[in-house]
Amino acid sequence: QVQLVESGGGLVQAGGSLRLSCAASGVIFSINAMGWYRQAPGKQRELVARITSDLSTVYADSVKGRFTISRDNAKNTVYLQMNSLKPEDTADYYCNAKATDCSRSGPCVRYDYWGQGSQVTVSS
């Protein structure tokens, strides 16, 4: 029922900037954390950045200092501001949300949701 809708991907030159957005719709559970993963051709998917409900952030070393993740809890939306882009940033970027269902008795149940991916291409 929960869907993650991404936007903002595209083609930019090295040194340029892009801003990715991801909005969660149909949310019925509390979203604890949202983040961005990326997968380059021939490589495994890797975590780019993550932000928790208390706004704590984690970044991959490769993007630290260049990318900034932010979150609007009221809108269930996460953003990834990407500056000083490099050709090695070229990948498909996937939004991720981790939600918790505590509406029932007993332990809470955790869920993971994924966007469909956004192409980011950085030319040299």
Cβ-contact 19, 30 below 8 angstroms:
no
Cβ-contact 20, 38 below 8 angstroms:
no
CA distance 46 to 18: 19
Q: How many Cβ atoms sit within 10 Å of the Cβ of residue 82?
A: 26
Residue 46 parent element (H or E): strand 46-52
CA distance 84 to 76: 27
- Looking at residue 102, its pLDDT comes to 85
pLDDT of the chain, 124 residues: tens digit per residue: 789 999 999 999 999 999 999 998 887 667 889 999 999 999 999 999 999 988 899 999 999 999 999 998 788 899 999 999 999 999 999 999 998 888 888 998 889 999 999 999 999 9
Q: Which residues face 101 on adjacent strands?
A: 109
- Looking at residue 28, its pLDDT comes to 64
pLDDT tens digits for range 64-84: 999 999 998 788 899 999 999
Q: Which residues face 102 on adjacent strands?
A: none
Cβ-contact 2, 99 below 8 angstroms:
yes
